[in-house]
């Protein structure tokens, strides 16, 4: 009886279907160049040939990384006056007084922001752009002395001068750094198109000068390694109940023959 039960349990377990864990494969394809500038680009990716005989496609994962090429062109504005300040008369030498006039001006220096948009047809998968950095630097123009005349006090005569210069602050706004466009495609129509033609065209719209540092498109699938049907829990319980009934009948038979 024990041998019969053991055989039945093994038979039940062997009918359970097994499937491999989800596995990603890298699809082949690349954009023509890693140096990208103010243009539209496209690349065709494929990977169906790497799939096993029986499989289920779960999703497509994509990751494209970019960085600024570091050669930005800047637009520089003309200096804009922002005010002035002046001190009172101060002794300058034994025979002169001076006052000091500071003029203030600002210059804006702005670079171009780089960006990229990744899409499949009319479906935008993601966008990214370089980040804004801001810095400032102040420089002074050469000192200019203007003679304002002479004044005499208590038999002493002094020369009066206005000494002036301009402090110009240049504000630089630059867009630098790196960014990544990544995500997961689970749209079934896109996956079906890939499985049908083994071609998936990605489009890239670039503004500014960028360098593509990494591109990856992963096809995530599950391989089916066995196709036997999984018995329902009620079927397993029914089989065990039947085995138990056979055991009871066999025990009664043995008592009847004693």
In order along its 258 residues, the chain shows pLDDT tens digits of 444 333 333 333 344 344 455 568 898 999 989 999 999 999 999 988 888 888 888 899 999 999 999 888 899 999 999 999 999 999 999 999 999 999 999 999 999 999 999 999 999 999 999 999 999 999 999 999 999 999 998 888 999 999 999 999 999 999 999 999 999 999 998 888 888 899 999 999 999 999 999 999 999 988 887 655 555 555 555 555 555 555 554 555 544 444
The verdict on residue 19 lying in a domain is no
What pLDDT is stored for residue 7 in this prediction?
A: 36
Q: Are 54 and 206 in contact (CB under 8 A)?
A: no
33 found inside a domain: yes
Asked if residue 49 is part of any domain, the answer here is yes
Residue 21 lies in a domain: no
Task: Answer yes or no: is 258 within a domain.
Answer: no
In a domain, 255, yes or no: no
Residues counted in the chain: 258
Distance, in Å, from the CA atom of 107 to the CA atom of 76, rounded to the nearest integer, reads 7
Give the Cα separation of 228 and 131 in Å (integer).
55
The Cα 104–Cα 166 span in angstroms is: 6
The Cα–Cα gap between 92 and 94 comes to 7
Q: What's the pLDDT score for residue 57?
A: 87
Looking at residue 258, its pLDDT comes to 45
pLDDT at residue 34, rounded to an integer: 93
Which residues, at least 6 apart from 155, have a Cβ–Cβ distance to it below 8 Å?
none
Q: Number of structural domains, the chain? A: 1
- DSSP E strands in 80-199: the ranges are 80-86, 90-93, 96-110, 115-120, 123-129, 131-140, 144-153, 156-176, 178-185
In this structure, is residue 22 part of a structural domain? Answer: no
Instruction: Please tell me the distance from the alpha carbon of residue 10 to that of residue 4, in angstroms, as a whole number.
Output: 10
Q: Distance between CA 236 and CA 230 in Å, rounded?
A: 10
Give me the pLDDT at residue 107, please: 98
Q: Are the C-beta atoms of residues 214 and 66 closer than 8 Å to each other?
A: no
In a domain, 38, yes or no: yes
| Enclosing domain of residue 79 | 2-10+27-224+231-248
Q: Distances from the Cα of 169 to the Cαs of 77, 102, 104, 138, 172, in angstroms?
A: 12, 13, 8, 4, 10
């Amino acid at each position: 009886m024990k041998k019969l039960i053991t055989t039945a349990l093994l038979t039940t377990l062997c009918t359970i279907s097994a499937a491999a864990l989800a596995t990603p494969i890298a699809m082949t394809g690349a954009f023509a160049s890693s140096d990208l500038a103010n243009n539209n680009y496209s690349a065709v990716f494929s990977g169906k040939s790497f799939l096993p005989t029986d499989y289920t496609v779960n999703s497509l994962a994509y990751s494209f990384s970019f960085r600024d090429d570091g050669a930005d062109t800047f637009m520089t504005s003309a200096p804009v006056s922002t005010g002035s300040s002046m001190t009172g008369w101060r002794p300058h030498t034994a025979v002169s007084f001076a006052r000091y006039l500071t003029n203030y001006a600002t210059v804006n220096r702005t670079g171009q922001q780089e960006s990229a948009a990744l899409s499949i047809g009319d479906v935008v998968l993601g966008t990214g752009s370089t980040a804004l950095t801001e810095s400032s630097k102040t420089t002074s123009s050469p000192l200019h002395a203007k003679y304002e005349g002479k004044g005499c006090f208590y038999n002493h005569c002094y020369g009066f001068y206005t000494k002036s210069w301009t402090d110009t602050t240049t504000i630089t706004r630059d867009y630098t750094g790196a960014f990544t466009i990544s995500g997961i495609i689970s749209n079934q129509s896109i996956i079906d198109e890939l499985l049908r033609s083994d071609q998936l065209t990605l489009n890239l719209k670039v503004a500014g000068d960028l360098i593509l540092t990494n591109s990856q498109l992963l096809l995530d699938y599950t391989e089916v390694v066995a196709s036997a049907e999984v018995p329902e829990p009620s079927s397993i319980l029914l089989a065990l109940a039947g085995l138990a009934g056979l055991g009871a009948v066999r025990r009664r038979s043995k008592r009847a023959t004693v």
